[in-house]
Structure 1
């Protein structure tokens, strides 16, 4: 049940972030597509992103986590590529701004709806 709530909250964060940014930067066709985009970003980040983070671990330590952030931005762009016009991010820099805004909105939503269940 918590997984479904987390997916819905991530979709809400994606939807709000797309509303905050200009239409030329990030577009989402609707809330349903935002939920799907949030789910795909989560899955891609958990699979491909994890593998990339393992391979870049020494470099990630040297850059104090910057490489991990870059990988997250690339996963947002990969999701944009997969979803076509339903979820579209203009370029790397807008994807970086989008990732920051989504993270901030998720922190706010976690405060409102409670933190994730541990254990």
Structure 2
């Protein structure tokens, strides 16, 4: 449980940093919301991203392992972008404002999130 909570926290902070870095190309929460509502939206998006990454991501990475090896790991960037877009779709179904402006921006956001998660995980653990 402690690992899941730390992963959720790290994912939320990484998503916030990516949204800050990418500006209007990736947004979490509506711009007119209060700070509390934006933090809650970030927590929900972080939770959904963590669950999607742990469940769906693990399965997809296992299935595509030969292709990941063949592409020297570059397929992982595409998989992370797809998981981010899946997170966007799921959160909008729950009425949480989360938007990524296309697949190219999802690729860039996936790279930023992965780097942030690596750095923060080393600090948190």
- TM, length-normalised to structure 2: 0.78
Give the superposition deviation at 1:4.
Answer: 2.2
CA gap of 1:96–1:15, structure 2 versus 1, over 3 A, is same
Tell whether the 8 Å contact from 1:12 to 1:31 is kept in structure 2 after alignment.
Answer: no
Report the 3-state secondary structure (helix = DSSP H, G, I; strand = E; otherwise coil) of the residue aligned with 1:81.
helix
Report the 3-state secondary structure (helix = DSSP H, G, I; strand = E; otherwise coil) of the residue aligned with 1:21.
helix
Which structure 2 residues correspond to residues 1-119 of structure 1 after superposition, within 5 A? 1-23=2-24, 25-29=25-29, 30-84=38-92, 86-111=97-122, 113-115=123-125
For residues 109 and 64 of structure 2, the distance between their equivalents in structure 1, rounded to whole angstroms, comes to 23
Report the 3-state secondary structure (helix = DSSP H, G, I; strand = E; otherwise coil) of the residue aligned with 2:27.
strand
**Could you list the per-position Cα deviations for residues 72-106 of structure 1 after superposition, in whole angstroms to 9, with x for gaps in the alignment?**
11010001111126111111111111111122222
Give the superposition deviation at 1:2.
Answer: 4.5
Tell whether the 8 Å contact from 1:14 to 1:35 is kept in structure 2 after alignment.
Answer: no
**Could you list the per-position Cα deviations for residues 99-118 of structure 1 after superposition, in whole angstroms to 9, with x for gaps in the alignment?**
1112222233334x432xxx
Provide structure 1 residue ranges, at least 5 long, that are not aligned to the other structure. Answer: none
**Could you list the per-position Cα deviations for residues 7-63 of structure 1 after superposition, in whole angstroms to 9, with x for gaps in the alignment?**
12321221121011121x101012221222122112112222222222211111110
Provide structure 2 residue ranges, at least 5 long, that are not aligned to the other structure. Answer: 30-37
Count of residue pairs brought into register by the alignment: 113
Tell whether the 8 Å contact from 2:18 to 2:112 is kept in structure 1 after alignment.
Answer: yes
